[in-house]
Amino acid sequence: MQRHLTSAAELSRDDAVLILDTAEELARLADRPIKKLPTLRARTVVNLFFEDSTRTRISFEAAAKRLSADVINFSAKGSSVSKGESLKDTALTLEAMGADAVVIRHPDSGAPHRLATSGWIGGSVINAGDGTHEHPTQALLDAFTLRRRLVGAEGQDLAGKRVTVVGDILHSRVARSNVRLLSTLGAEVTLVAPPTLVPVGVEEWPCEVSYALDPVLAKSDAVMMLRVQRERMRDAFFPTEREYARRYGLDGERMARMPEHAVVMHPGPMNRGMEITAQVADSPRCTAVEQVTAGVSVRMAVLYLLLGGAEPAGSPTPAGTAGRPADAEESA
């Protein structure tokens, strides 16, 4: 494992499987009366959010707290950032306060990469979503959920599983991270969207592209529905909400054409009636709520593997490899 997690493309198959296996072990904690590990005691994790995202922020916050880290939430709203402070000065401030890890959500693609490579901070950088670039922990939690539902066994990848991702691929960091990670894990990915919402250059991605949803349903082990913003209509990406829902929305009738074992995924928040009907969203085949739970376990695993076993901020840079959670439990 590297010191940072800025892109799903950086993860090898073994890295990814290690994160998923670690997440499984950490998930078992949730069933215990005391849900906390002392692993990251005296370590500081900063949630640096330049974009509103309550869901992702509280997921990272819960993950860090269950590992006993001190958590500082820094949101751009009402901070000096809105007064024009640069990312660099914000980073230097956090560094001076002794952040061991910075979880960053930023509207500009590449901002986490910049933070990790600029030398402004010494701690680990974890990308919690940057512009339309990547959202690697979302892809990891999706892979975690898929593996539980479709494979079951730990230590395994997603070889041969067919995953269909439907929606606004062009503007989706979730899609970009998923294409990278799922293909690394051996899954076969098909993207489905109107041609306007597929990026020019997609030919080089390790996946198939279909402009129609119906032909791929029967061949899917999982169908991941992406949120489609209604505002895209104004830029002529599609004519009307209704036309989008008719051609690319997942309703009960379409879900019935999926194989029996196949699941429906959604990263949330859902636009019910747009990309997904209430009937599908509330069906037992929809994993949206499981994905939220998986998010905490996966983010714990990422924090654990990036920071675990290392010295607190200010100490020499640790080796990336950490002990397994079992060891940590013993020391507790």
Partner 1 sequence: MATKTLITSARVLGGEEQDVLLDGETIAEVGTGLDAPGAEVVDAAGAVLLPGLVDLHTHLREPGREDSETVLTGTRAAARGGYTAVHAMANTFPVADSAGVVEQVWRLGRESGYCDVQPVGAVTVGLEGRQLAELGAMHDSAAGVRVFSDDGKCVDDAVIMRRALEYVKAFDGVVAQHAQEPRLTEGAQMNEGAVSAELGLGGWPAVAEESIVARDVLLAAHVGSRLHVCHLSTAGSVEIVRWAKSKGWDVTAEVTPHHLLLTDDSVRTFDPVYKVNPPLRTEADVMALREALADGTIDCVATDHAPHPGEDKDCEWGAAAMGMLGLETALSVVQHTMVETGLLDWRQVAERMSHRPAEIGRLDGQGRPIAAGEPANLVLLDAAYRGEVNPNGFASRSRNTPYRSLELPGRVTHCWLRGRTTVVDGKLA
The residues carrying an active-site annotation are: 55-56, 83, 105, 135
Question: Which region, judged by CB under 8 A, interacts with partner 1, from 15-23, 32-40, 113-121, 299-307?
Answer: 113-121
Is residue 108 near partner 1 by the rule CB under 8 A? yes
Contact 179, 139 (CB under 8 A): no
Binding mask 140-179 for partner 1 (x = CB under 8 A): ---------------------------------x--x---
Binding region for partner 1 (CB under 8 A) out of 23-31, 32-40, 129-137, 145-153: 129-137
How far is 156 from 21, CA to CA, in rounded Å?
A: 9
Number of residues that bind partner 1 (CB under 8 A): 27
What's the CA gap between 221 and 58, in Å, rounded? 30
Give yes or no for a contact between 252 and 279, defined as CB atoms under 8 angstroms apart.
yes
| By CB under 8 A, residue 131 contacts partner 1 | yes
What would the x/- binding string for partner 1 be over residues 74 to 103, using CB under 8 A?
------------xxx---------------
The verdict on 309 binding partner 1 (CB under 8 A) reads no
Exposed, middle or buried, 321 (CB in 10 Å: 0-12/13-18/19+)?
Answer: exposed
Give the shortest CB-173-to-partner 1 separation in angstroms. 6
Which residues have C-beta within 8 Å of that of residue 61, sequence separation ≥ 6? 47, 71, 73
Least distance from partner 1 to the Cβ atom of residue 258, Å: 28
The Cα 330–Cα 164 span in angstroms is 41
CB nearer to partner 1: pick between 120 and 304: 120
Return the bridge partners of 164, or none: 190, 223
Phi and psi of 258, rounded to 5°?
A: -80, 155
- Select the span of 10-18, 105-113, 239-247, 309-317 touching partner 1 (CB under 8 A): 105-113
- Gyration radius of the chain over CA positions: 20
Decide: 163 and 190 in contact? Cβ < 8 Å: yes
Query: In the complex, what is the shortest distance from the CB of residue 248 to partner 1, in angstroms, rounded to a whole number?
Result: 20
**DSSP letter at 311?**
P
Binders of partner 1 in range 189-228 (CB under 8 A): 199-205
Which residues contact partner 1 (rule: CB under 8 A)?
86-88, 106-111, 113-114, 117-118, 130-134, 173, 176, 199-205
